[in-house]
């Protein structure tokens, strides 16, 4: 039997499980709930937090796993933006995380992987008036989760604005954690003050998130439950990392974003993808024990 397997089963929704026996690693993906990874066991340790009740509720925002943020990260003021003179409403973090993704294929040759696709439709166009195709390949190999992304603009004759990102929830025993990053400051959304980053963040008592600023290296590492350390590496287009938690919940969210919250209103750092073009990006999550 190959060390790589891709299985599927039903647990409220259809789940695809990527398995690498040699590293005791398993990735669980639910395409119909926003293409989300709900489980990420690397080298025998589950690093993702999941509130299963929110996953099982068909319209609830999932608290846990790794929600996909597209075409925006974060919030828009009054959940509204204007493009080409017309106003649109868009929920927090965009349309991808509430859409049903299609399975394009699976693979067990040299890795355990699944490719899923989201295409624009009449529902997405109510919030985001562009034709697009987004494909993700989740690949498990060498005890690491690789998320290979492609964002394609199918809109004829018009560039497509977007800024994508991720919202992974990691199991954590403390709100006060050291983050290995070369960021120099952070914007504290609790009081809107930019503060020096001194090697750790204490989210205890914070309601809003913070955004790490000034990082040159596109990677971040931090401790998680179980005595392990998670490391994320990502492409240069992910300029910011958002860090957030909820009081009395055993998780921290460490989120690579292409732009800061509200960017579709500011329109200063938008990714403008030309008609017919595609943008490829990668994110890797590993666990050091």
Question: Any idea of the CA torsion for 46, 47, 48, 50, to the nearest 10 degrees?
Answer: 50
d(CA 218, CA 232): 8
Q: Residues 38-95: pLDDT tens digits?
A: 999 999 999 999 999 999 999 899 999 999 999 999 999 999 999 999 999 999 999 9
Has this prediction a pTM greater than 0.95?
Answer: yes
d(CA 247, CA 174): 10
Across the chain, mean pLDDT equals 97
Q: From residue 183, how far is each of 46, 54, 197, 201 by CA, in Å? A: 27, 33, 7, 12
pLDDT confidence tier of residue 1, bands split at 50, 70 and 90: low
pLDDT confidence tier of residue 120, bands split at 50, 70 and 90: very high
d(CA 201, CA 169): 16
Q: What is the pLDDT of residue 74?
A: 97
54, containing H or E segment: helix 52-56
Q: What is the pLDDT of residue 2?
A: 74
Rounded average pLDDT over 102-107: 98
pLDDT confidence tier of residue 191, bands split at 50, 70 and 90: very high
């Amino acid at each position: 039997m190959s060390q790589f397997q891709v299985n599927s089963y039903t647990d409220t929704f259809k789940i695809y499980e990527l398995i690498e026996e040699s590293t005791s690693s398993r990735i669980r993906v639910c395409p119909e709930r926003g293409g989300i990874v709900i489980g990420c066991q690397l080298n025998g340790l589950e690093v993702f937090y999941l509130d299963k009740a929110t996953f099982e509720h068909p319209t609830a925002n999932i608290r846990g796993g790794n929600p996909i943020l597209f075409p925006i990260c974060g919030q828009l003021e009054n959940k509204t933006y204007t493009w080409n003179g017309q106003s649109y409403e868009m929920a927090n973090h965009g349309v991808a995380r509430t859409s049903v993704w299609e399975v394009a294929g699976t693979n067990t040759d040299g890795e355990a992987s699944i490719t899923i696709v989201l295409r624009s439709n009449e529902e997405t166009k109510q919030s985001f008036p562009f034709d697009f195709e987004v494909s993700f390949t989740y690949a498990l190999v060498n005890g690491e989760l690789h998320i290979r992304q492609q964002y394609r603009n199918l809109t004829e004759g018009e560039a497509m604005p977007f800024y994508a990102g991720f919202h992974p929830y990691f199991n954590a025993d403390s709100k006060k954690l050291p983050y290995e990053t070369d960021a120099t400051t952070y914007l504290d959304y609790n009081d809107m003050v930019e503060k020096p980053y001194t090697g750790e963040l204490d989210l205890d008592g914070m309601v809003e998130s913070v955004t790490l600023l000034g990082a040159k290296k596109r990677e971040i590492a931090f401790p998680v439950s179980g005595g392990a350390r998670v490391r994320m590496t990502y492409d240069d287009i992910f300029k910011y990392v958002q860090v957030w938690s909820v009081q009395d919940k055993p998780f921290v969210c460490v989120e690579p974003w292409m732009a800061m919250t509200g960017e579709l209103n500011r329109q200063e750092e938008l990714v403008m993808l030309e008609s017919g073009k595609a943008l490829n990006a990668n994110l890797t999550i590993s666990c050091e024990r």
